[in-house]
Structures are given as structure tokens and as C-alpha cells.
Structure 1
Amino acid sequence: MKKIACLLLLFVAFQVNAQEFHFIPKIGLNFANMTNMEGSMKPGLNIGVAGEVMMTDNFAIEPGVFYSMQGTKGDVGSSTVKYKNDYLNIPILFKGYVYEGFNLFAGPQLGFKVSSKLKASESGTSVSTDVASDWFKTFDFSIAIGAGYQSPMGLIFSLSYNIGLTNVLDKDNIASFINKTSGVSGISASDLDGKSRNGVLQFNVGWRF
């Protein structure tokens, strides 16, 4: 909560010194993966709001808050397993308008885990459990980079990639689960080496008010 309060104070300070401010609701499609999980990209949604603070005619700071469906999926034997990790992400993007409405942006992002579930399916039968909630840490830190286009009407398109920098696995809890279940989860400590980072490709559309 202290981190969020500090971010809000920074946001107010930026707005006071800004030339103009824009409110931007956004929604988009995620393609998420996790390193060392031997899986493929898992589709999901992200939705939230951002505030574009114009510092100059061509430079802006854009903080936001987004609900993001992440994780990964892969095959374990004859079953398909999905790790469904949902986060509340708070990016602070530094945006430069390079030509008319085209822009480039990058910045840090704080992620707070909201929920974790493991879903396994085979031959039309599926089982979902929240046993995986203890496998993943509650905090994630990443860097977002991307490009976008701002139309004269207000419609926004953007493509970005979130590069996870922190290990999100709780190795001790995973090892404890594997010992109890003799590896039926399809994960081994040697395969994971106790480390995994999030990676998320995002396509977003929004409207700039």
C-alpha cells in the first residue's frame, strides 16, 4: 500500500507540472509465457486505465493500473496444463511522440498477484485447482517496452512486451508440494531450478479523452 501511495503522489506532482492531461481506458489481448516452464504462450486479457500526462508537446508520462491474465501452458504426458496467474499491474511509462501520432514508450512495471490456478485437461475432461497459489510469489517487477499510434479522433493502438526481471517462483513451496505428491504435478525442482520470469506480449486498443 505504501508503494501505491507513493506512486499516486508522484502522479499528482506530474499532473501539476504538466501542460495537459488525458484519461485513457484500454483493453487488450495477452500472450503470456514463463521462462524455464517448457510451455507455450497462453492467451488472456488485460483491461485497465491510464493517465497520459503531457510534459511537453512530444513527451509524456503515462502511469496506469491494469488487470492482467498471465501464466503459461504446456503438455504433461497426455494432459494439457495451464498455469493461470492474474496480476494487478501498475506501469509507469515514458512516452515519446516521434512522428505525428506514432509513439515509442518504455518504463518500469510493478505487479501484484491477485490469484493463481492450475488447470489440467485431458480428452474433454478438465480439473481446476488453486493449489498453485503458493507456488508463485505475490510481487513481480518488469520492464515494459513498445510502440503505439494515437489517431486524431482519440483511438489508440499499441503493441508492447513486458520483460519480467524477478523470479516469481516460490521454490520452497514447490519442493514441499512435489515431495507430498511424488511429482504428479508434472514439475520437478531440477527442471525449474527454482527460477522463472514472466514475459507478456500485449496488443491493446484504447480511447484518449
Structure 2
Amino acid sequence: MKKTLITLSLVFISAVAFGQAAVGIGLKGGANFANADVADVNTDGVTSYHLGAYGLIKLANIGIQPELLFSKQGTSASGDDLDLSYVNIPVMLKFYLPAGLNLQAGPQFGMLTSAKDGDGDDIKESFKNSDLSAALGAGWDAPFGLQFTARYVIGLSDINDEALGGEFKNKTFQLSIGYTLFKLGN
């Protein structure tokens, strides 16, 4: 394992040094339009936010962008809101088109930090501590360091840990703006 890590580090450093790769670190944030698929329950969406940091490793027209985001999600049913807070780690594969436009896809791993009902009561024990999702999106990496992204995140795992009426899966549409603070390479 140690040899593999050292080898990968050397390949990565060599690629950056010879101008074949670019590495960047930045901050991002934006709006969440969240809802949930809950068995036999009609739900309404809620608007909230996400914010955090990202790294980007780009080689030619392919990039890998891991992110660390704090994300407010949830849903509303019959006027009763459910507020879920997550630390999400999406790992996006970005396929670059001309002019910085890109298509994105990848997994997202979420860790539940809090869950509250409409009265503000803590109901975290009703939900699983983790959430696995798939994310698909499109974006534009502007030449002056800005990133604009639209992404749909669909829950793959059932987060219901108690008898809340069946399966419960998150789904979120995100609009983000990011700014690359540090960039090395092309």
C-alpha cells in the first residue's frame, strides 16, 4: 500500500511538472432544492443550501473533483417540515467539452449530522447515519477561476432506520458557484 501511494504521488507530481495535469483547490456554495421519495406519502420540496470545498485534478479533457460539502436537505409532508443536515463527499468524474463546459457523474457519500422535525425536535435516531447517492450534472469552468454547476443527486440507499412508512430516499437538485483559490499546472 505504501509503495502504491508513493508511486501514484510520483506519477501525479511528474504529470503536473511536465504540464500534462492541472491541480486546483477552491470553495463552492449554492442552493439546494431538496425532496425525498417516501413510500405512500406525498411530499413537497424544500429550498436550502450547501457549501464547502473542492479539489480538482485535470488531465487533458478528464477531471476528478472530490468535494467536502455541508448540505441542508429534507422535505415537507402535510405542512410538517423535515430538516436533514449532511456532510457530503461527492467524487465527480468530469468530462470536458470545448470552452470549459463539462459533464459530471459520480458517487456521493453522505454522513447525517442532524435531523429535526417541524417542531425542532431531534429525530436523528429515526434515520441511518449514512447515505449513498449518485450525482449527475453539467457545468462550466470559466477561465478566470469561477465554476458554475447544475447537479441532480438521487439517493440510492434507504435512510429510514425506523418504521416511518417504508423506504425514504433523498433527492436534491443543486445550483452551485465555486471559485478556484489555488491552481497549479495548465
The normalised TM-score by structure 2 is 0.84
Distance in 1 between the 2:101 and 2:84 partners?
32
Partner deviation per Cα, 1:156-179 (whole Å, 9 max, x = no partner): 1110010100000012xxx4xxxx
**What is the one-letter code of the residue matched to 1:128?**
G
Within 5 A, what are the aligned runs for 1:25-174?
A: 25-36=27-38, 37-54=41-58, 56-75=59-78, 80-119=79-118, 127-130=119-122, 132-171=123-162
2:178 counterpart of 1:206 = yes
Please state how far the C-alpha of 1:27 moved relative to its aligned partner.
0.5
Equivalent residues of 1:15, 1:53 under 8 A apart: no
Distance in 2 between the 1:160 and 1:24 partners?
18
**What is the one-letter code of the residue matched to 1:39?**
T
1:135/1:15 CA distance change after superposition, 3 Å: farther
What RMSD over aligned residues (CA atoms) do the two structures have, in Å?
1.7
Equivalent residues of 1:28, 1:203 under 8 A apart: yes
- Which one has more relative contact order, counting CA pairs under 8 Å at least 6 apart? 2
Q: Which structure has the highest helix share of the two? A: 1
**What is the one-letter code of the residue matched to 1:161?**
Y
Identity of aligned residues (%): 33
**What is the one-letter code of the residue matched to 2:104?**
F
Please state how far the C-alpha of 1:86 moved relative to its aligned partner.
0.4
Please state how far the C-alpha of 1:60 moved relative to its aligned partner.
0.6
Equivalent residues of 1:158, 1:204 under 8 A apart: yes
Equivalent residues of 1:27, 1:205 under 8 A apart: yes
Query: How many residues were matched structurally?
Result: 167
1:162/1:33 CA distance change after superposition, 3 Å: same
Structure 1 outlier segments of 4+, above 3 Å: 12-18
SS in 2 for 1:100: helix
SS in 2 for 1:24: strand
Partner deviation per Cα, 1:65-112 (whole Å, 9 max, x = no partner): 00000110121xxxx211001000011110011121110010011000
Q: Which structure has the highest strand share of the two? A: 2
Equivalent residues of 1:15, 1:21 under 8 A apart: no
Distance in 1 between the 2:91 and 2:12 partners?
14
SS in 1 for 2:124: helix
SS in 2 for 1:27: strand
